[in-house]
Structure 1
Amino acid sequence: MSKLKQSVTYAFGAFGHDAFYAALTTYFITFVTSQLLETPDGSQVNTWLIGMVTTLVVTIRIVEIFFDPFLGALVDNTHTKWGKFKPWIMGGAIVSSISLVLIFSNFFGLTVSHPMIYLVLFVIVFVIADFSYSVLDVAFWGLLPSLSLDSDSRASISSIARFGSTLGGTGVAVILVPLNIWFSHTFAHTQGTEQTRAGWLGFAAVIAALSLIGALLTCWGTQEGEDAIRDNTQKTSFRDIFSIIGKNDQLMWTALAYLLFAFGFSTTNSMIIYYFRYVLGKPESYSLVGAVEAVLGIIAVICFPALQRLVSRKRVYLYSVIVELVGYVLFIFAGHNVVMTLVATALCYVAQPLVFLVVLNTISDCVEYGQLKMGTRNESVTLTVRPLIDKLAGSFSTAIVSFAAVTAGMTGSATAADISGSGVAQFKGFMLYMPLVLIAISAVIFAVKVTLTEDKHNQIVKELTDKFDSDSEQIAATAAPTPQA
């Protein structure tokens, strides 16, 4: 199969995949705190229900996270004529897309008329949405190591995929407000820039469609590789899952470093929309954030393969974190200056895709590292660690964002003029200072503890190849007939 076709269709899948993730993790809680739980006349917000929904979301996501490795084992143990990844990618996309639309609704007014019934239905639908997305997530990124064994090829494929995911994730920020306003005008008959529940529901329907189309293209255009190294698999026992992960020391150190980074960045990223609306008082300028993020994210992922070859993967991580920290410092001193805020945001966003790609490729290389160390190959179980971390970080950040927004008074129809100076200061503490410390610690851990370089991985692949070639020769020699005297 054409490498270009594989890369492009995988990128389309990543586009829809990250658009969905942004809607589910970053913008759903914004919907909850702004429009979902308002009274019909928009006069007040049910803060008790906001707290309940937030608690349920965080609890469900944290509980579900511990099932991700089991989902990885389920995928690893799948054998169909379509491969082991595609059935889960397509099935997960269908179910999660339908569920996304449902959770961006108020279940026909139940939030006001019967809040407890709403909570019961919400839990059921959100569990379905989160689990089906997890299956899709595990299978989608688990597919990456099967497309190539070479570190440079993986870097190229993952960069193109990240190009797509960057457009998907950042594009949501660009289209969110205008799309919401358009649907609000069309279905709620509003005027001006008012956003409504109908607008959010239309937005969710568009994102669900993008996710479904992307999954379909990925299943059509990619093909799992076949070789002796990938054939070295055994049925993954559920009782061995955490042993497989825990014994892979490079996987664990990479995971810890990325958890701290992802928690910090996710918290800041989720709060920027509040910053523009309730601190700067310029919600209409938030679309500029998406545009800046998209352009710089694309530049970053295009440059990643060359940067990896030029300075090594580890240094890309460390230099990216330095750029990110400079962005945080600028953000702290930006005040109400929109231009300076955008520059600070740009520095944070240009670094994040590079860190993601370093982590994704390092974890992908941990598949062969673990195979050499433990004697068997576990693709999906190993690759579940990265999405598991993203979801864990997203869950923590959801709790932080909801708490910060409610305590600062950034809910419902409040404006920047309604927020006190102490509320802004507290909000900045969660949005800027805490993430800055977490991201700095992540860089130290990655620099000191992660030793799986590109050269070391290539050496591991060579050792595995030599081993399986030697085993094949021994089998052939044993099977050959003994010559007669």
Structure 2
Amino acid sequence: MSFTVEAGTRRLRLPHYLGYASGDAANNLAFSMTSLFLLVYYTDVVGMSAAAAGTLFLVIRVWDAFADVFAGRVVDATMTRWGKFRPFFLFGAVPLMLLSVATFTVPALAEGATAVLLAYLTYGLLGLVYSLVNIPYGSLASAMTQVPEERGRLAGFRMIGTASTMILLALVVAPQLQRFQGDPDGLQQSLLVTTALFGVVGVLLYLFLFRTATEQVPRTVAKVSLKQSLGTLRRNQPLMVLCVASLAFLCGMFALTTAQAYYARDVLQNANYIIVLTLLSSGAIFLIAPFIPWVIRTVGKKHGFVGFGAIGVVGGVVISLGPPSVPVVPLVGFGLVGVAVAGVNTLMWALEADTVEYGEWRTGVRTEGTTYALFSFTRKLGQAVGGAAAAYAIGIGGYVANAPAQSEAALWWITAAAGFLPAAFILVGIVLFLRYPLTEAAFAEMVEQTRARRADTRAGERKEVP
């Protein structure tokens, strides 16, 4: 079904897409830095056990999830001369990047139990400020356009921003892990310089996002009350299905992300393999993103989600069964998971934007902030559960920090955390998502009805003016 642009709005141009990509690149200079390397940092530099670090991840990421809900309410209650979302990029960039540096400075500030307490404090504050920047960023897409293909393209550019940053992180940080293996002080100093440089780059990227972002989808209510937000969420079945299915999928994705550095360094016996694994698991987005609008047009978001997810299940099994002595086999598995993550994650963002329209169609109120916050809440829970599950699995295997070699049991559990565990979570996500009710045709009809209702409201308001 063809889609028309609503009166008063315009088609997005390349600067809008590039600006949106730069926003997620900046987000991931903080977010993916912790997802990829914070567990290694806590075990090998701070000196925590894998189990203690896993508990920290679980506690702080659940805290982050509730911080997302708080941030969603702040966003829905905000309206300024810069718009609803853009001010958060302007004022949140510097605090977020400073906290990212602080999170990787724990041993330089304290030791022992105090260092662990400081790790909770810095990581917890990072999560709160990240929510206050990321929730408006994610909510922005639904306010930029209602055209499905443009939303798919925005999601694709967003994932390109994510993948670019993750590849950059691997290229910069992986050699440091290899060079300073067994030298926690050297690794600490190296990461301090690295995160400081990333902080400067991140602030510049947020400023570019602020400059290029546009909020043009009409809204009937500028500031949304808590009652209106909750009423919209209660009646939004597509959002609920998307959240529970995404939770399972993201548990698998973050389990793999958490175990990836250990798999490269200890199973494949070379930390520089992190670069290869990241290129395979994150670089796939450069191949997949251009085809997402085509996937949406031909098979729809729902079937695309299920199909990409199935590829991920196969990839996880290949990682676990592939012999490390023949690295090409598990590398193929990482590539398959990369295709799955690229496809499903990109479709998730487009699906979430669609649920905003569904909520407005049911209630007459747009709640981008709260809707995205609930979706992000489940993403943070996925990060918490997936990251903690991988950390616990590594701990069960008997991982020993800074040891020249790990036991066979430790290597098996690291491999399972990178392969079987993600495959199982993704399979559950596929089964849950089969209940998603919103088709492409139904979405287009729903948006047209909402537009007509808005037009009737505006006409009625004009008649009441004396």
TM-score, L = length of structure 1: 0.87
Q: Structure 1 pair 210/390, CA: closer, same or farther in 2 (3 Å)?
A: farther
Q: CA deviation at 1:93?
A: 2.2
- Distance in 2, matches of 1:250 and 1:367, equals 10
For residue 410 of structure 2, the aligned residue among 408, 420, 423 is 423
Q: Structure 1 pair 330/107, CA: closer, same or farther in 2 (3 Å)?
A: closer
Which residue is 1:342 aligned to? 331
Corresponding letter in the other structure for 2:373:
T
- Distance in 2, matches of 1:210 and 1:310, equals 38
Confirm whether residue 13 of structure 1 aligns to residue 23 of structure 2. Answer: yes
- Distance in 2, matches of 1:343 and 1:431, equals 13
Q: CA deviation at 1:289?
A: 1.4
Corresponding letter in the other structure for 2:369:
S
- Distance in 2, matches of 1:91 and 1:426, equals 43
- Distance in 1, matches of 2:380 and 2:304, equals 24
Contact 1:163 1:301 in 2 (8 A): yes
Contact 1:151 1:457 in 2 (8 A): no
2:106 partner SS? coil
Of residues 320-329 and 467-476 in structure 1, the stretch that sits farther from structure 2 once superposed is: 467-476
For residue 32 of structure 2, the aligned residue among 12, 22, 27 is 22
Confirm whether residue 473 of structure 1 aligns to residue 459 of structure 2. Answer: yes
Contact 2:177 2:271 in 1 (8 A): no
Q: Structure 1 pair 442/374, CA: closer, same or farther in 2 (3 Å)?
A: same
Q: Structure 1 pair 243/475, CA: closer, same or farther in 2 (3 Å)?
A: closer
1:113-128 paired onto structure 2 within 5 Å:
115-128=112-125
Q: CA deviation at 1:198?
A: 1.3
Which residue is 2:152 aligned to? 155
Contact 1:170 1:293 in 2 (8 A): no
Of residues 331-340 and 249-258 in structure 1, the stretch that sits farther from structure 2 once superposed is: 331-340
Which residue is 2:360 aligned to? 371
2:26 partner SS? helix
Corresponding letter in the other structure for 1:287:
I
Q: CA deviation at 1:107?
A: 4.5
Confirm whether residue 432 of structure 1 aligns to residue 419 of structure 2. Answer: yes
Max Rg structure: 1
- Per-residue deviation, residues 241-261 of structure 1 (Å, max 9, x unmatched): 444323211100011111000
Report the RMSD for the aligned CA atoms in angstroms: 2.5
Q: CA deviation at 1:66?
A: 2.0
Q: Structure 1 pair 440/52, CA: closer, same or farther in 2 (3 Å)?
A: closer
Corresponding letter in the other structure for 1:4:
L
- Per-residue deviation, residues 177-203 of structure 1 (Å, max 9, x unmatched): 235678x79xx9x8xx99621122223
Contact 1:35 1:412 in 2 (8 A): no
- Per-residue deviation, residues 338-396 of structure 1 (Å, max 9, x unmatched): 11111110000111121012111111011110111122111111111332222111111
Corresponding letter in the other structure for 1:459:
E
Contact 1:69 1:241 in 2 (8 A): no
- Distance in 2, matches of 1:318 and 1:76, equals 32
Unpaired runs of 5+ in structure 2?
Answer: 1-9
1:74-473 paired onto structure 2 within 5 Å:
74-108=74-108, 110-111=110-111, 115-178=112-175, 196-227=187-218, 230=219, 232-233=220-221, 235-238=223-226, 241-336=229-324, 337-416=326-405, 418-420=406-408, 422-447=409-434, 449-473=435-459
Contact 1:293 1:349 in 2 (8 A): yes
Which residue is 1:35 aligned to? 45
TM-score, L = length of structure 2: 0.90
Q: CA deviation at 1:51?
A: 4.6
Corresponding letter in the other structure for 1:314:
K
Count of matched residue positions in the alignment of Structure 1 and Structure 2: 455
